[in-house]
A and B are shown apart, each in its own frame.
Chain A
Amino acid sequence: MSPRARALSQVRSPRASSIAAFKALLIRDVRVLGKSVPLFIVRTIMQPLLFAFVFTYVFPKIGQGVGGAEGQEDFSSLLVPGVVAIACIFQGIQAVALPLVTEFSYTREIEDRVMAPLPVWSVAVAKITSGAVQGILAGVVVFPLATFVPATDVVLDVHWIELATLLVLSALVGSSLGLAIGTRAKPHQVPLIFSVIVLPVTFLGATYYPWASLDPIPWLKWAVLVNPLVYMSEGLRTALTPQFPHMPVPVIYAALIGFIALLSWQGIEGFKKRVLA
């Protein structure tokens, strides 16, 4: 090893240092995503692809309809926003929660990113940000699937401003939920994440039916309001298929922003607890 002239490290202001490190953390996550594009696509499309295929292609072909024969066409259209919303929440779990569980436990490798010169909370915010980017990508990948797989026509009436804003908010809900879960779950609890959180959230997330159609089961209609996916599905429904009944738009925005605030706060606190003693 040759002797080196050790320059006094040039200390940068906390602000400059944090911004550079934050950007680098995002670049790193994009690089990791870039290495696993096939994996990303497979894990993103399998569930919605099978769902759309069985319920909107196979069922109509074999004469078994969801919502009756005349409701079939509606169902294919109704499914599009629901499937995009599910893609966002799945990404939160798969792109944020699961890697964090490993990085916190077996490998402790999160420590190298925690030692980067930025506040610990902004390392957590970087996780939310890159998770949300992946959630948006997942939504974009899933969208054509839900649109072109069904045997019956899909009727969309796209409201672009709502679509853009609500997709971003939905992706942020998904990734902040992922952070909140990933900072709390132990590795042996990973299977539980799926059975206790992911399945109930997706099945009771107003994804396969509009929330308003729960009228006949009032207790359920009110109970599912604690599920953030309800607002994601309803929101994307107003942006893609406003012909169906949906919640008032301001309520949807307020609820999504509220969930992002709550889940990010929980996630960041959980993150700090795991890395600082």
Chain B
Amino acid sequence: MNEGEIFGLLGPNGAGKTTTVGMLTTRVIPTEGWARVRGVDVVAQPTIAKQLIGVVSQSNTLDRSVNVWENLYFHGRYFGMNAREAHTRADESLELFRLTERAHADVATLSGGMAQRLMVARAIMHRPQVLFLDEPTAGLDPQSRLALWAILGELNDSGQTILLTTHYMEEAEQLCRRVAIMDHGRLLALDTTEALKRSIGADTVVTVSSDERLDELARHIEGMEKVTGVHVVDQQVRVALSGSNGILPRIIGYAEDGGFRVTDLSVAEPTLEMVFITLTGKDLRE
């Protein structure tokens, strides 16, 4: 990872994203190989590595025995701040993350979005070199998700290096400049989002809906000119192709010539989702 970037680790559930983050955050001991954060070997020197990282894990790990403000205060103390410093920083963090009003609330009473904000506030309180977020917006309502994206964007603008894992394509596309795509514990691709999209050799993705025989329709369309990939996803046929001029009538005509009835069509630019489907032959949500 480069300093100051937001790096995305993208893959379906069970792809090994959480395990990868676990290794980098000293929680999972690699069976072989090594893991380094900013040059520090996390297996040999976990106590040093932990000082360099901030972690927002998938589940809510706020300390239920103490209130909102104390969650931050004690985090500061764990990381070596003295009482006064931790006090000031806890106040500042609550202000920054718009949680001051809830300072003395029980953490169990926070909404999902607020709990997530508090976890991010806590994770960056000791100014980590790298902030790790594991599926940060899973389970959040759309509004809270947008709010968290804004927060992460601002943190990154101020120089915070961020690694996030996600199985939401939009999230990776929205936030990350570079993305690694994983499946079954293996790294399939690593590049900027633009380069990954170019890598599938298409500039247009057409989604074709039909009532019936989707697999046959997909095979039929594969025979069309300039088509670089066809996949059946979500009861639709995704067609990747280069050159978009007059493409819709051509597809309808081609499909009807083959005896298929097209019920709906839409055109879009290639997305990371298409990259993933091309690499693995399956949908991210599967």
Name the distance in Å between B109's Cβ and chain A's nearest Cβ: 15
In the complex, the number of residue pairs spanning A and B with C-beta atoms less than 8 Å apart equals: 119
Residues in chain A near residue B55, CB distance under 8 A: 115
Chain B residues with CB under 8 Å of A14's CB are 45, 47-48
Nearest-CB residue, chain B, relative to A29: B65
Closest to A32 in B: B65
Residues in B neighbouring A28, C-beta threshold 8 A: 63, 66, 74, 77
Residues of B within 8 A of A (CB-CB), count: 46
Q: Quick one: closest A residue to B128, CB to CB? A: A9
Contact between A112 and B63, CB atoms less than 8 A apart: yes
Determine if B61 and A111 form an interchain contact, defined as CB atoms under 8 angstroms apart. yes
Q: Interface segment, A17-25, A162-170, A203-211, A260-268?
A: A17-25
List CB contacts (< 8 Å) of B55-69 with chain A.
Answer: 55, 57, 59-66
A9 touches B61 (CB 8 A): no
**Most chain B beta-carbon neighbours within 10 Å: one of A2, A14, A99, A112:** A112
List, in ascending order, chain A residues with CB within 8 A of B66's CB: 28, 31-32, 35
Alpha-carbon gap, A12 to B196, bound state (A) = 40
Please state if B25 and A11 are interface contacts (CB–CB under 8 Å). no
- Cβ-defined contact, A277 with B29, below 8 A: yes
Distance, CA A107 to CA B62, complexed state (A): 8
Could you say which residues of chain B place their CB within 8 Å of the CB of A2?
Answer: 96
- A6 nearest CB across to chain B (Å): 5
Give chain A residues whose Cβ lies under 8 Å from the Cβ of B126. Answer: 9
Chain B 20-56 interface 0/1 with A at a Cβ cutoff of 8 Å (1 = within): 0010011111000000000000000111101110010
Q: Does A7 interact with chain B (Cβ within 8 Å)? A: yes
**Contacts A1-B154, A4-B158; A116 near B78 (Cβ below 8 A):** yes
List chain B residues, Cβ under 8 A from A276.
Answer: 27-29
Asked if A16 is at the interface (CB within 8 A of a chain B CB), the reply is: yes
Contact B127 A9, beta carbon cutoff 8 Å? yes
Contact B96 A12 (CB under 8 A): no
Is B157 an interface residue when CB atoms closer than 8 A count as contact?
A: yes
> Does the CB pair B65–A277 fall under 8 Å?
no
Closest residue to B52 on the A side, CB-wise? Answer: A9
Residue B159 lies at the interface, judged by CB distance under 8 Å to chain A: yes
In the bound complex, CA of A16 to CA of B47 (Å): 10
Are B77 and A117 in contact (CB-based, < 8 A)?
A: no
B28 and A12 contact, CB distance less than 8 A: no
Q: Known contacts A28-B74, A31-B70: does B46 contact A112 (CB below 8 Å)?
A: no
How long is the Cα–Cα vector from A120 to B42 in the complex, in angstroms? 13
Contact yes or no, A118 B57, CB < 8 A: no
| Known contacts A6-B127, A9-B127, A14-B48: A25-B78 contact under CB 8 Å | yes
Q: How far is the CA of A219 from the CA of B99 in the complex (A)?
A: 63
Q: Collect the chain B residues with CB atoms within 8 Å of residue A25's CB.
A: 78
Q: Are B60 and A107 in contact (CB under 8 A)?
A: yes
Q: Which of A95-144 contact B (CB under 8 A)?
A: 99, 107-120
Asked if B27 and A12 sit within 8 Å, CB to CB, the answer is no
B51 touches A109 (CB 8 A): no
User: Closest CB-CB distance, B209 to chain A, in whole Å?
Assistant: 42
Residue B262 CB within 8 A of the other chain:
no
**Assembled-state Cα–Cα distance A199/B48 (Å):** 44
The CA-CA distance from A4 to B160 in the complex, in Å, is 9
| B129 contacts A8, C-beta separation under 8 Å | yes
Question: Could you tell me the distance between the alpha carbons of A117 and B45 in the complex, rounded to whole angstroms?
Answer: 10
B258 lies within 8 A of chain A by Cβ = no
How far apart are the CA atoms of A34 and B52 in the complex, in Å? Answer: 32
A9 touching B29, Cβ below 8 Å: no
**Set of chain A residues within 8 Å of B178, measured between Cβ atoms:** none
- Contact, CB under 8 Å: A107 / B158: no
A158 CB–B CB distance under 8 Å: no
- B80 proximal to A (CB < 8 A): yes
Q: How far is the CB of A172 from chain B (nearest CB, A)?
A: 22
A117-B78 Cα distance, complex, nearest whole Å:
7
Known: A9-B127, A107-B64. 4 other contacts (CB 8 A): A1-B154, A11-B52, A119-B46, A276-B29
Task: Give the interface of A toward B (CB within 8 A).
Answer: 1-9, 11-12, 14, 16-18, 20-21, 23-25, 27-28, 31-32, 35, 99, 107-120, 275-277
Partner-A contacts on B (CB < 8 A): 19, 22, 25-29, 45-48, 50-52, 55, 57, 59-66, 70-71, 74-75, 77-80, 96-97, 122, 126-129, 151, 154-155, 157-160
- Mind listing 27 A-B residue pairs with CB under 8 Å? A1-B96, A3-B154, A6-B158, A6-B160, A12-B51, A14-B45, A14-B47, A17-B48, A17-B80, A20-B79, A20-B80, A21-B80, A32-B65, A107-B59, A107-B60, A108-B59, A109-B60, A112-B122, A115-B26, A116-B75, A117-B50, A117-B79, A117-B80, A118-B50, A119-B46, A119-B47, A277-B19
